[in-house]
Chain A
Amino acid sequence: MNTPAWFAAARSRLLLLAIVLLANVLVAPGFLEVRLVDGRLFGGIIDILNRGAPVMLLAVGMAPVIATRGIDLSVGAVMAIAGAVAAATVNAGHAWPVAILAALGTGLACGLWNGVLVTIFRMQPIVATLILMVAGRGIAQMITQGRVLTFTDAGLAGVSSASLLGLPLPVLLALAAAIGTGLLVRGTALGLFIESVGTSPRAARLAGVPAPALLIGVYVWSGLMAALAGLIATADIRGADANNAGLWLELDAILAVVIGGTSLYGGRFSIGLSVLGALILQGMRTCILRSGLPPELNLLLMAVVVALVLVVQSPACGPVLARMTARLTRRGTA
């Protein structure tokens, strides 16, 4: 692994994010202002971070899964289940910490189910997680009995509305998860092991990497992150909406990871770049919403961005682009 390649990858994503933020400034001149009101920061950037928090969390869980050449389609449904469990628990008269633990435990169990299907039953990840994606929303609806399960517990609602050091709690949770996961996989050999399983499961096994435990681990982690995102989504509306909570967010998370430069064929991944990808997506969405353009444009814009990333990353164009960049940088330094 050479540092310049990593740096170039980060630079291009930061450039993309800068363009998106610039577009935001153009449509809303006061976008970059950050004000402190009642001990909490407000402003465009904070708004993007806050609204992007669920997808950031999902992307943090999804990146290691994709690095093992897997995919987790169930995260949106897990969000709905976790939210439903949390709302049902506080409504049953339990305290909010119990509800949060119950929701996180549910996410853990969902991830374990996915991991066992992929590892022990040797199902393809896309089918294994499709099962929970289809059935999971049904389970969430069963818990809420098909209604939006509202609650009044201030503690549980605080997951979304509380703030610390001026930053909204969802932002802190997402950043903490990203930094924690990043340190875990890059501070230890864990990240390298995950990448080795994705690059060549056989070679990884021969090298003594405990692939099954690792695979179950990444799916459990993804389930846990999804449960956290589900808690935020539920606290946000003070109710569990089994039909809409996290709907299609698995696709956003996968796109964020792909924009972050991780190949769906497994291998090298980056938590930081995946989080940047989630922020780019959220920045685009906010920009379209603020500009007053039809929100449908966002889908087209997302398609264009992903298409660009695919073209740049494709084996056919990659070398050509790399040579061009190399020539440009040489000219720049000369």
Chain B
Amino acid sequence: MRLDARTLPLLITVGVFILLYAACAVQFPAMLGTRVIGNLLTDNAFLGVLAVGMTFVILSGGIDLSVGAVMGFTTVALAVMIEGAGLHPLVAFTIVLAGGALFGCGVGAAIHWLKAPPFIVTLTAMFLARGAALLLSTDSIPVRHGFYQTLSGLSLSLPGGGRLGLIALLMLLAFLAGGVLLHFTRAGLKVYALGGNSRFAGLMGIDTGRTTILVYGFSSTMAGLAGIIFSLYTRSGYALTGVGVELDAIAAVVIGGTLLSGGVGGMAGSLIGVLIQGLILTWITFDGSLSSWWTKIAIGMLLFIFIGLQRLILHFSAPTGRTG
């Protein structure tokens, strides 16, 4: 079998995850339980949803630094709407999702029409969203609506005492929907084409402007969903929620085998990327003697190893695969 730049990174990611999990399980047999797995999925649900949107953006050749701030804004907006204005949570959810979609479309439009680098446009969007969230409230606002209690109580019991909460299910659903959209629809193909080479994509008749706008719109909608999930998770709204999580989401996507230059990668890897990060955190929590800074160093090292491997694979597969 020839080295394939598209499947090999995913296989390596899955392999690393299995090895890491096996290493954890040998040291702490309790980590094999469904309780830990349920918690792993629940605790990282917001990150997973962000990674779904980020996968689209990175595959399209862009980057979205605003997702953490949009998520933070969403949690505050939800708290203000539900506790302050007395709206029903479902109404508030609809409003923030629609608002997120509009915001993202605006970001995409700015990137397309101003021909400005996504990095700086989404950075501006990040300041805008974070500033707006802080203007709404600088305090952490608890959400005590009865509907929140109901939603938090919903869960799927797993054999072995584990529970899969609503937010973990939402994340898995987001990955499923994102995966289908990316891999089985024409829209997904357009995202790959845009990331592969935006000029050629345009020449092939793909409306690059529309695709760019929709990709960022989707990413911001996912950030809104992540905000809803975080709001349900903590039952509060705080403007400084999710500072820096855009970097975790980018790291998850990169560890998942998607190239930051766009056009190569997939949705399944991003889920594994999120789980690897969660697993490292869980391991450090289980161990107890390791300090928290090892998380950052470990994720940095993983990033280095994965990107180095991808470079090697691309290097060796260049004659048959894509170049650049």
Which A positions have Cβ atoms within 8 angstroms of B?
Answer: 71, 121-124, 126-128, 130-139, 141-142, 145-146, 242, 251, 254-255, 258, 263-265, 294, 296-300, 302-303, 306-307, 310-311, 313-317
Add 6 more A-B contacts to A138-B300, A142-B294 (CB < 8 A): A131-B303, A133-B247, A134-B247, A254-B120, A296-B138, A306-B120
> Which B residue sits closest to A122, measured CB to CB?
B311
Question: Is the beta-carbon distance between B300 and A307 smaller than 8 angstroms?
Answer: no
Is residue B5 contacting chain A, with contact meaning CB distance below 8 A?
no
Give the complex CA separation of A265 and B119 in angstroms.
11
A-B contact pairs, 6 of them (CB 8 A): A121-B308, A141-B293, A146-B291, A265-B117, A297-B135, A317-B114
CA distance A127 to B309 in the complex (A): 13
B304 touches A131 (CB 8 A): yes
Chain B residues lying within 8 Å of A127, measured Cβ to Cβ, are: 254, 260, 303, 307
| Option from B121, B124, B251, B295 in Cβ contact (under 8 Å) with A130 | B251
Q: Inside 8 A of B254's CB, which chain A residues have their CB?
A: 127
**Cα–Cα distance between A307 and B106 once the two chains are bound (Å):** 12
A130 to B114 Cα, complex, angstroms: 26
Count class of interface residues, chain B: 35 or more
In whole angstroms, what is the CA distance A63 to B295 when docked? 31
Q: B260 contacts A71, CB within 8 Å?
A: no
Are the C-beta atoms of B300 and A315 separated by less than 8 Å?
Answer: no
Bound complex: CA A268 to CA B132 (Å): 34
Contacts of A296 in B (CB 8 A): 131, 134-135, 138, 239
Min CB distance A295 to B, Å, is 8
5 residue pairs, one from A and one from B, having the closest CB atoms? A135-B300, A138-B296, A299-B131, A296-B134, A141-B293
Distance in Å: Cβ of A121 to nearest Cβ of chain B? 6
Residues of B within 8 A of A298 (CB): 131
Q: In the bound complex, how far is the Cα of B251 from the Cα of A303, in angstroms?
A: 25
List residues of chain A with CB within 8 A of the CB of B130.
299
- Are B117 and A134 in contact, with the CB atoms below 8 A? no
Smallest CB separation, A72 vs chain B (Å):
12
CA distance A22 to B293 in the complex (A): 44
Judge if B110 is at the interface, Cβ distance under 8 Å. Answer: yes
